[in-house]
Every structure is written in structure tokens, then in C-alpha cells.
Amino acid sequence: MRRRRSGRISGVRNEWGASEGPDMKRFARLYRELDQSTATLDKRAALVAYFRQAPPRDAAWALYLLSGGKVAGARRKIATTRELREWIGEVSATPDWLVDDSYDQVGDLAETLALLLDDPADAGEDLALADWIEGRLLPVANRDVEARRAVVVDAWRTLRFDERLLFNKLLTGALRVGVSQRLVQQALAEMSGIDIARLAQRMLGDWTPTPDFLRDLLSPEVLPGDRQQPYPFFLASPLESALRADADAADSGDDAGDGAETGIALANDPDAVARALGPIGDWLLEWKWDGIRLQLIRRDGGVALWSRGEERLDGRFPEIEAAAATLPDGVVFDGELLAWRADDDMPLPFTALQTRIQRLKPGPKTLADTPVRLQVYDLLELDGEDWRARPQHARRAALETLVAAHADPRIVVSPRIPADNWRAAAALRGQARDRGVEGLMLKRADAPYQAGRRRGDWWKWKIDPLTIDAVLIYAQAGHGRRSTLYTDYTFGVWDGDVLVPVAKAYSGLDDSEILALDKWIRAHTLERFGPVRAVTPHHVFELGFEAVNLSKRHKSGIAVRFPRILRWRHDKPMAEADRLEALKALAR
């Protein structure tokens, strides 16, 4: 089996639907272009070209898919993984074992399905992308197996490789081509002249891929719906990345590359922080809370709570909505929702907050057992006016005045952290874990509130990770360009004489280590559970993580927060890996 490639997109026009050619083929060409390119500017140019060419129906679906939307899913069953593998075996006269072996070798189910069939001698009717989705796939969703199988098999027999591969991606939901939602928005902004912040705001929440939505998305007018949406969140970057960049610039001489310090080591050096950020007086320091990031919107007489994950949380935290109802109209706060008892001097663990977010309408006992408060730290709108372009210090001053006048203990301002110099700030950071926080937030005093992760103005200076030595026990293939390698790992620690899983991680190894470990995994597989391999316990890895919380949902009884691989411990036998009781002793 081999994968077929072809040339770049051409024939760009400046109006919707002006180019010729079947639209499924046009989107398949875009997919191939994006998949083959590693340059961001080339990807954006390909997106601009596509959206200028495609008819509105197709463009709306392309936008939806490239932004992470899926045609098939738990609520719209078109074909399960098992069914796809059975059907392709039947249609291609391939034994089950060979289908499984092919999938194992290719690493991507959609591509495996495409490769197991030859191109048809005569392709079938040319259909638009929207016609395939709306006319073929959605009508059979959740129907009997015969109806679903007939549509899928007919497509396999009539589509050529590129379109067949794309069709399979629609079935599996694995449309991963190294394109972020922001990159798509940048392309639309370049094409339409609409501000990217306005585009990002209009794409928040649930939306339906229709020509009407696309028309409103690209409208230069202020629309009624714009008032109902949150602003795109401004995301902080790890301070270690700024420190490494500063160190790399300083080491760019002849002796560069003689063993640069790690980001963790640099983060513990106040002098390195001072060199990278300048005078501490230029910065606002706050605690970095471990809660749910959200925007509180008080507009047009109503209150809305939006999470960073673009989900409305109305009804789940009625005490916050009640407190917000007495705020003046035309106010938007950015802050952190925390589980916090009134008499405590620190928040409850994040796991306590999880019990609240799972309840759409919490009862009196839940409200009493796990009260919440909103720690606000930015003012995005005041009196209906967008304040995001104003400097941080001005937004902060107005925020403090407004919240003080409101005087409700359920909505409080995240306190400023005073420090005369970076060494004093580092000492405060060292106290973070004892205070139930993750470190410090550093915000440039004259910075506007931006959209997305924009480096330079907001940094998160997190505390050093906790560490354990754990044993690799399971492995799974990665996604996208790593789909042919085992890069997703599960690690265990000792509970008596048994290794129990405590963490999953997929980052922290370099390319050579990934290749070496992949080869070892294939040679030391004990069992297979679908895409997961159980491997011979042997290799020990040092894992870093932010915190440990007690959890009844996990077999081990604990939940590790944000685990990642720090190093491969070739020097340590698995008998000396850490034990579960040591992890439980760290748990809150």
C-alpha cells in the first residue's frame, strides 16, 4: 500500500464559489495541502485560497470541520471503529487479521481504510462536501446497520483515493492536519477584513455550519448576537519559554549549545527572570489559581457564565448568578471559579469543584458542602463599552473600584501580590503550594487584553512540579503525524506487589527516544486491547505533575494533575519505582 500525493491548490478567485470543479475534490485538495505543509504561512495561504473558492455551504462545513467539529460522534452514530474494520474487510476481501495488521502498520484508521481499496475505474457522481454530509451521512445517522453500511460502502466504491481518505476522516472524526482554530480565523480575517477578535467571538459556543452563519460571521456590521457572546480569552504562556529564549539569545556566541539550562532551572533563578522581564515595577503579580476559568457577563438585564471551553454554565453555580444580578448592567469580568468555604484561607482542591460542574442544577446539600466564589482579575467591559484595548493597570483599577462597591463575598478581586524585586517574588512563589495555588501570574501593567495565547504580556510562573518515578505499563499510537508511532503512555506505581495505573502522558521525550521506545514497545507487547498495548513492565520514567487529589473515580484512588514526562530513568530498576502510598501522602 502506498499513499498518493498530488500538486498544490490553484485557480484562486476572489468571490464565493467562482472556481470550477467538484467541491468534495476541492476540500480533499485542501486537506492534502494542509497535511503536507509544515509552514504556517503556506497553510494560511491554502486556507485563504479555499475559502475564496468554495461555495458558502461547503465553506461553512469546512470551517466547522477545521475548527474541530465532527460529523459523526456519540450522538450521531454513522459507523463504529469495529464496523468500519469489518466492512472494509468484506468489501476488499481482506482477512480480519490483515486489516488489523495494516491498521497497526499505518497507524491511522481512515488512511488504512482508504489504502485497502483500489480507485474505481469510473468515479461516481461528483457531489459537494455539503451534499455528502447533509445528503448522505446525516440522514443515516443512528439508523440500522444496513442503512449505514450501504452509504459508507457506496462511497468507498465510487470515490478516488484523496476523496475517499477525506470521507473516512469524516467518519472517524480524525481531521488532524496541524491547523488550529486561530489559524483558520487568521485566514478568514485576511480574506474578509473582519477583525480576528470579532471572528473569534462569533465562533464561541455552539453554532451550526450553514451559509447564514458564514454570512453573519463575515458581516462587517455589529450584530445582535455579538452582545450575547463572551470575549475570546487571553491565555498566559509559561515563563520558562521566555527564560529559555532569553538564555538562547545570550548563548548565541561560539560556545552556544554547550548544555543550556532547563526551563525549570531558569525559573528558579530570580536574576534570569529579571533579565527576561525587566523591572518588577512594570508588572502586576497575582496568584495563579487552580479552578475553572470563566467570564461573567452582565448584559441586558441578564447574567451568563461562560467557561474557557466555550460552554455556558448557567444554572450550575446559582450563588454566583445571584451575586452578579446586583452588578450594574454592561459588565464583563474575567476570573477563576473556585470551591472555597467562607471561613477557609485557601480554596478546596479542584476535585471538589468537579463535583459541582457535573450537576446542572445543584441541590441544597451540594451548595452547602461545596460553596464557590469567583476570584475576578480583569474587566473586559464596563457600561457596555469594550475595555480590552485599555492598559492592564487601568482595567485593574476600575475592577477594584467596581467590586469594592458591589461588596458581595461571592465575587472578590484576586489580590495583588506585592514584591519589591524578583527575588522577593521568587520567595512568594515558593509558598504557592502551601497556599493551594499553582504559582504566580505576571501581567505587564500597560498590556491590553488580547485574544488567545499571545506571548509577552501575560506569563504564568508556576511552582516546580512534584515528581514520581513510575513504570511504563501501556502504550497507544499517537495522532496526526505521530499516528504510526506509540507515543501515548500509561504509567503505574507499586501498590503492594502490583503496578496500578496513576498517570497518562505523551510529552517530554525527544524524537530519538520516541523511536527507540516505539521499537521496544512493538517487541515487548503482552496483550492488545483495541489500539492499546500492554507491555512488559521494565522501563522507569520520572514524571512531573502539579498536584495530587483524592479521587473515587480512579482505581488508584488518586488523580494526578497535568502529568508529563521529565526523563527516561535508564539508571533505575522498576523495583525501585515509587509506591502508591507515597503519592497518597501528597494528596489533598
Residues 535 and 486: beta-carbon distance below 8 Å? no
Whole-angstrom Cα distance, residue 123 to residue 163?
Answer: 11
Q: Is 288 a catalytic residue?
A: yes
Stated as kind and residue range, the H or E segment containing 220 is none
C-alpha cell read off for 368: 452547602
What are the phi and psi torsion angles at 534 (to 5°)? -85, 130
Q: Please, are residues 169 and 61 in contact by the beta-carbon 8 Å criterion?
A: no
The alpha-carbon radius of gyration of the chain (Å, integer) is 26
Contact in structure between 67 and 184 (CB atoms under 8 Å) = yes
DSSP 452-503: EE-TTTEEEEEPPPEEEEEEEEEEEE-SGGGTTSEEEEEEEEEETTEEEEEE
Query: For residues 499 and 495, what is the distance between their CA atoms, to the nearest angstrom?
Result: 6
Measured CA to CA, the distance from residue 459 to residue 79 in angstroms comes to 44
Q: Which three cell numbers stand for residue 204?
A: 464561541
Which amino acid is residue 310, in one-letter code? E
Cα distances (angstroms) measured from residue 41 to each of 38, 183, 375, 428 = 9, 9, 39, 42
> Cβ distance 442 to 283 under 8 Å?
yes
- Residue listed under C-alpha cell 450550575: 316
Which single residue is written with the C-alpha cell 548544555?
259
Instruction: Considering the candidates 288, 443, 519, 552, report the single residue annotated as catalytic.
Output: 288
Question: H-helix or E-strand containing 89?
Answer: helix 81-92
**E strand or H helix at 100, and its extent?**
helix 96-106
By C-alpha distance, which of 530, 531, 533, 510 is closest to 520?
533
AA letter at 257: G
Catalytic residues: 288
